[in-house]
Amino acid sequence: MSIHIGAQPGEIAETVLLPGDPMRAKWAAETFLDRPACVNRVRGMLGYTGTWQGQRITIHGTGMGMPSLSIYVNELIRDYGVKTLIRIGSTGAMQREVALHDLVLAMTASTLSTPSSGIFRELNFAPCADWGLLEAAHRAAVSRGRPVHVGGIYSSDAFYDERPDLNEAMTRHGILAVEMETAELYTLAARHGARALSVLTVSDHLLTGAAMSSQERETGFAAMVEIALEAALS
């Protein structure tokens, strides 16, 4: 056990998928894993371990934002020996060619600050995805005919952002989409020698105001989970 994860030694797989919402972790585990078992309920942050195509997989929630994700990723790596971490979540498009339901594979993640910022002080560290995972996810998406975009994203430290000037600058510099966790995930993976990737589904659009319905989110997120699973075990 760790401070925030109640799983016993051996109950968490070396490969973990990381949705922000603990209920999405439950849905993904029950939908895609064989014989999923709940291995964590501490503070309502659900984690499940089962198998997919005969390989052990854990799906564990992280909560919203980089501070929350940092707690779980640190403990998963440090206390449970996790080697591969793939975030599966929603994102807001920042380019007109990126449409609702499209997949975004985050090659890099820009941010104003993360929980790890104090380590680097004046250095602007550039967190990036693991190439093997990125290439495998892209191949899986293309083979399924899924619209997919690869490039930089922006990890915001606030959901209710009131910086239209910053959003405009991100769009101008080719940032594909915005979410709230990936920059810290990639930084922690680099620090601990783990592999990491974010596979994201576009649920809303900052430029057009378009947004998925709740039903569209449930069905649209299925492809994202399948691609993440295939990339993790390729």
* 50 assigned ligand-binding residue: no
The answer to whether residue 79 is catalytic is no
Residue 135 labelled as part of a binding site: no
* Cα 33 to Cα 46: distance, rounded to the nearest angstrom: 15
Q: What is the DSSP string of 109-166?
A: EE-S--TTHHHHTT-----B--HHHHHHHHHHHHHTT--EEEEEEEE-S-SS---HHH
User: Is 220 one of the annotated binding-site residues?
Assistant: no
**Rg, C-alpha atoms of the chain:** 17
Q: Per the annotation, does 90 bind a ligand? A: yes
CA distances from 207 to 111, 127, 180, 181 (A): 20, 26, 18, 21
195 annotated as belonging to a binding site for a ligand: no
Does the annotation list 204 as a binding residue? Answer: yes
Is 144 known as a binding-site position? no
d(CA 121, CA 96): 35
The reply to whether 10 sits in an annotated binding site is no
CA angle 155, 158, 159 (to 5 degrees): 95
Specify whether the CB–CB gap between 75 and 66 falls below 8 A.
no
Q: Was 179 annotated as part of a binding site?
A: yes
- DSSP H/E element including 15: strand 15-18
**213 in a labelled binding site:** no
Where is the binding site for a purine D-ribonucleoside, in residues?
Answer: 4, 179-181, 203-204
Active site residues per annotation: 204
